Amino acid sequence: MEIISSCLQLLKLFVRSNPTYKNLLIEDIDIFLEFNTLNVGQSDLLSELFIDNKKANKSAQMKMINYFCHKIVSEGCQIKFLDYSYPTKSPTPIQME
């Protein structure tokens, strides 16, 4: 688990402030959502993918809302889960269709 956690931290640093790389990872977001019962740091990476990313895929945004709703229900409301909903930099509103 420690190796997976370290890889996720590295990916988070890799995509920080780079929407192009963020969108490349968003294309395969389901991979990160598959192991949502394990807490290995994927929430931090998933939040980072959408911070300052105005071109993020809308269906991926809906998956993220569902993911964090599930995490809040199962683990309680924690500040780390609010990073996605209320990014600290340039919030990008989610458009509901």
Residue 94 belongs to a domain:
no
The DSSP letter of residue 10 is H
Residue 12 belongs to a domain:
yes
What's the CA gap between 43 and 68, in Å, rounded? 8
Residue 96 belongs to a domain:
no
Q: What is the number of domains present in the chain?
A: 1
Residue 78 has pLDDT above 80, yes or no: no
Residue 42 belongs to a domain:
yes
H helices of 1-97, in order, are 2-15, 19-26, 29-34, 42-50, 58-75, 79-85
Residue 24 has pLDDT above 70, yes or no: yes
Residue 92 belongs to a domain:
no
Residue 97 belongs to a domain:
no
- The reply to whether the predicted model has a pTM over 0.75 is no
Domain region containing 58: 2-85
Residue 27 belongs to a domain:
yes
Give the HSE-up count for residue 52: Cα atoms under 13 Å, Cβ half-sphere: 11
Segment 34-62, tens digit of pLDDT: 876 777 878 888 889 988 888 888 888 88
Q: At what angle do helices 58-75 and 42-50 cross, to 10 degrees?
A: 140
Report residue 83 as tokens.
Answer: 């990073």
Residue 53 belongs to a domain:
yes
